[in-house]
Amino acid sequence: MAPIDRALNLRDGTVGAKPAPGGNRANLRDRIYTQIIDSIVQGAFPENGRLPTEIELGERFGASRPTVREALSRLRSDGIIASRRGSGSYVVRKPDAALLRLAPIESIADIQRCFTFREWVEAGAAGLAAEMRTRRDLDAIEAAYGNIEKVLEGDALGVEEDLGFHAAIATASHNRFFVSAIESIVEPIRQCMQLSRSLSLMKSRVRREKVQSEHRAILAAIESGSPEQASEAMRLHISNARKRMFDGT
- CATH label of the domain that carries residue 19: 1.10.10.10
Residue 104 has pLDDT above 80, yes or no: no
Domain boundary among 43, 64, 94: 94
Taking 60 as the threshold, does the pLDDT of residue 23 lie above it?
no
Please indicate, yes or no, whether residues 103 and 216 belong to a single structural domain of this protein: yes
Least-confidence region, from 61-65, 156-160, 215-219: 156-160
Residue 5 reports pLDDT greater than 50: no
**Of 211, 236, 212, 209, nearest in space to 127 by CA:** 236
35 with 150, same domain: the answer is: no
Predicted pLDDT at 6: 32
Among residues 118, 211, 111, 201, which one has the least CA distance to residue 167? 118
Least confident of 10-14, 29-33, 201-205, 230-234: 10-14
- Spell out the residues 6+ positions from residue 224 whose beta carbon is closer than 8 angstroms to its own: 130
Q: For the residues 120-142, what does the mean pLDDT come to?
A: 97
Q: Are strands 81-84 and 88-91 parallel, antiparallel or unpaired?
A: antiparallel
Examine the domain organization and report whether 124 and 83 are in the same domain: no
Q: How far apart are CA 51 and CA 44, in angstroms?
A: 10
Q: What is the pLDDT of residues 143-177, one digit of tens each?
A: 999 999 998 877 677 889 999 999 999 999 999 99
185 sits in which H/E element: none
pLDDT tens by residue, 28-39:
888 898 889 888
Burial class (CB in 10 A: 0-12, 13-18, 19+), 68: buried
